[in-house]
Amino acid sequence: MLEVTNLEVVYHQVVLVLKGVTLRVPAGETVALLGPNGAGKTTALRAVTGLLDIHEGRITKGSVRFDGREVAGRRADAIVGGGLAQVMEGRRVLVDLSVEENLLAGAWSLPRREAAAELERAFERFAILADRRRQQAGYLSGGEQQMLAIARALMSRPRMLLLDEPSLGLAPRVVGEVAELISTLAAEGLSILLVEQNAAMALSVASHASILENGRIVREGPAAELAADEDVREFYLGLGGDGRTDYRRVKHYRRRKRWLS
């Protein structure tokens, strides 16, 4: 459904952030994109949703195809209207709007009546939000804001959802709720691209995963396979081969990585 091929992105005409990334999200699947800070995960999402412009970024090579149609270079609102919605990193609820208005802002691409119907569906699914309907969104708790951000993205009736670090800054129990929600959405047939640093959570809900480091995909495969992989276990799940973390090796790895980049 989403095919990113050989994507190269440059910021401010000099900073090469993605160095030929290839990524595929088949229809109805959940794919996780893992990687450390600054690897280019968010940039990859921006390239897909047309938000590179405002960050002075350009796609210099490669293509992004959604449902077989090229989306690179199209305007952000056209892309969302085409069935691709995203939840940005850090939730980004519109703090001074009410919960209901936040949701309505997500339904711009729908005619008014359908937006109203969609609003009711959102309140059915997210009971906490229904209770806080008229409340200012900035005063919701972190978990509620994340739910609101996801609900808002779903308002445009997307066929595919891009999630950027939905677990960021949430309590472990709330992370569990978010993971559960993602699984439910996936079971309903939504295609999902999940960008995460919380690898354990991401691998538990995804069917496939790719690991992005320094703008390149360094590993990819079925989630179960990656979760069992020695290196992934050590560097992303924090588990050593024998269940104990060998800090000397972690350090060595980091030093080596810095040299490589």
Would you say 141 or 184 has its CB closer to other proteins?
141
CB 183 within 8 A of CB 161: no
**Residue recorded with tokens 């952030």:** 17
Helix axes 142-154, 99-106, angle to 10 degrees: 30
Would you say 90 or 238 has its CB closer to other proteins?
90
Can you give the binding site for other proteins, defined by CB under 8 A? 49-51, 53-54, 56, 75-77, 79-81, 85-86, 88, 92, 94-97, 101-102, 104-106, 108-109, 112, 115, 136, 138-142, 152-153, 156
Would you say 82 or 215 has its CB closer to other proteins?
82
Helix, strand or coil for residue 18?
strand
> Count of CB atoms within 10 A of residue 73's CB?
12
Least distance from C-beta 140 to other proteins, angstroms? 8
Least distance from C-beta 143 to other proteins, angstroms? 12
Would you say 113 or 256 has its CB closer to other proteins?
113
Q: What is the DSSP string of 106-153?
A: HTTTS-HHHHHHHHHHHHHH-HHHHHTTTSBGGGS-HHHHHHHHHHHH
Strand ranges across the sheet with 2-11: 15-25, 2-11, 57-66, 69-70
Least distance from C-beta 99 to other proteins, angstroms? 12
Would you say 44 or 211 has its CB closer to other proteins?
44
Least distance from C-beta 18 to other proteins, angstroms? 19
Tell me how far apart the terminal alpha carbons of the chain are, to the nearest angstrom: 32
**Residue recorded with tokens 């609003």:** 119
Q: Which two tokens stand for residue 77?
A: 């609102």
Least distance from C-beta 209 to other proteins, angstroms? 24
Q: Which two tokens stand for residue 50?
A: 């047309």
Would you say 46 or 208 has its CB closer to other proteins?
46
Least distance from C-beta 24 to other proteins, angstroms? 23
CB 33 within 8 A of CB 23: yes
Would you say 77 or 180 has its CB closer to other proteins?
77
**How far is the C-alpha of 141 from the C-alpha of 127, rounded, in Å?**
14
Least distance from C-beta 155 to other proteins, angstroms? 8
